[in-house]
Amino acid sequence: MNEAQRQFAMGFAGVRLWYARGPLPGAAPSPEFDFPAPDVPASVEAAAEPSAAPHGSGGDKSHRGLRRIQGLLAETRREPARALAPPEPEIPVAPVTAAAPAETPREPEPESQAGPDAVTRASLAGEVVAFHWRFWVGRNWVLVSNRSESASRGLEDNLAASILRALEDGLEFSEEVRWPVFTNPAVPGNDAAGAADVLAAVADSLAGRNVVALGLVPDGAERASVLQALTGHLGTAAVSFPRTLAALASDPVAKRDLWGALKAAAKK
């Protein structure tokens, strides 16, 4: 075993070798740090005999490490070179392909046509609209009125409750929709198409009730055609009246006309 193998074996066994920087008095000269590569691989017969472990520092760990190193060296030296036989050429096998099933002719699907709501929403995209509508919801009826900022909310609430009582109904709750939500018209969803989506959701929550529309499209209003299209998302109104709820308080003739239209709708 040369110096390189000896250092490797001792280090693996946990023995740390120490070399003096200079010659010590009375000490034997240390071997040179020469790690030559072996020219001829060692034979099995030249395998080194297991040497006795030094006392004191290694212990059981040193014995186990030396035995492991010796076993590895002996195993690698015992394994003879095997002559590899040339591999037999594989016989190519043609892949078996299953016949593709005959495709059955598919019937042409009818072209889907956009419904009126989709067409209306597409026409409202990008349109600017402004409105403020209030809803008074009863068990069977719902009043929807355009609200003027100068009108009293208490007056509107009293008139709505009176109309619902006349229809043998009662006020359950009220809500309102003010559009646009943002002052900047360029905000996505702030156009008339976004308002149509909101009104459609409100109409779904009020399904099964008769709708009374009051002044939703005032005379001379800007974007009257857009407002008229938005009212369609509330469903078909049982009564559509041109005056708002607040305007009825000071117009007895309009109030009488509305009451006649409500009685006719209630009989249906």
- Complete DSSP assignment for 141-181: EEEEEE--TTS-HHHHHHHHHHHHHHTT--EEEEEEEEE-S
User: What range does the domain containing 229 cover?
Assistant: 123-267
26 is written with which tokens? Answer: 């009375």
Domain edge (last residue) among 42, 62, 77: 77
Domain edge (last residue) among 77, 106, 133: 77
- Do 41 and 152 have their domain in common? no
- Do 129 and 252 have their domain in common? yes
- Do 73 and 127 have their domain in common? no
What is the rounded distance in angstroms from the CA atom of residue 176 to the CA atom of residue 144?
A: 9
What is the rounded distance in angstroms from the CA atom of residue 258 to the CA atom of residue 248?
A: 9
Domain total in the chain: 2
Q: Contact at 8 Å (CB) between 3 and 37?
A: no
- Do 67 and 159 have their domain in common? no
Distance of CA 80 to the CA centre of its chain: 62
- Do 44 and 147 have their domain in common? no
- Do 146 and 243 have their domain in common? yes
Domain edge (last residue) among 46, 77, 108: 77
- Do 233 and 128 have their domain in common? yes
- Do 131 and 246 have their domain in common? yes
Provide the residue-wise pLDDT of the chain in tens; the chain has 268 residues.
Answer: 677 777 778 777 777 766 666 666 776 665 555 545 555 554 544 444 544 444 444 455 556 666 766 666 565 555 554 444 455 555 555 454 555 555 555 554 444 444 445 657 788 888 999 999 999 999 999 999 999 888 899 999 999 999 999 999 999 999 999 999 998 888 999 999 999 999 999 999 999 999 999 999 887 766 788 999 999 999 899 999 999 999 998 899 999 999 999 999 998 7
- Do 158 and 263 have their domain in common? yes
**Residue 108 belongs to a domain:** no
- Do 59 and 128 have their domain in common? no
Q: Record the pTM.
A: 0.55
Residues with Cβ within 8 Å of residue 16, at least 6 apart in sequence? 10
Spatial strand order of the sheet with 131-138 comes to 171-179, 131-138, 141-146, 210-214, 239-241
- Do 57 and 177 have their domain in common? no
